[in-house]
Amino acid sequence: MDMTAVTYLFLGFLGIYLIIGILFSTVILIKGLSSLDPNTKSSGVGFKIIIIPGLIAFWPILWRKWMK
């Protein structure tokens, strides 16, 4: 396997990870943010915009916490 194939494979996995993260962050912002942290119930739109990159990056950890 040459480096081009490895690069495409890596970028493919990264793309899938980001797509799942975007979908997860959308769902969590609409339905379940307050179940992860009750203090976010009264948070505004600005706070929710700020945490989107973190939700996308750490979606596997947050998914497990949300499912408990």
pLDDT tens readout for residues 14-31: 999 999 999 999 999 988
Comparing CA positions, the residue from 16, 31, 24 lying closest to residue 64 is: 24
pTM of the model: 0.84
Angle in degrees, CA 26, 20, 57, rounded to 5: 80
DSSP codes, 5-36: HHHHHHHHHHHHHHHHHHHHHHHIIIIIHHHH
Please give the average per-residue pLDDT across 40-53, as a whole number: 91
Mean pLDDT of 41-50: 90
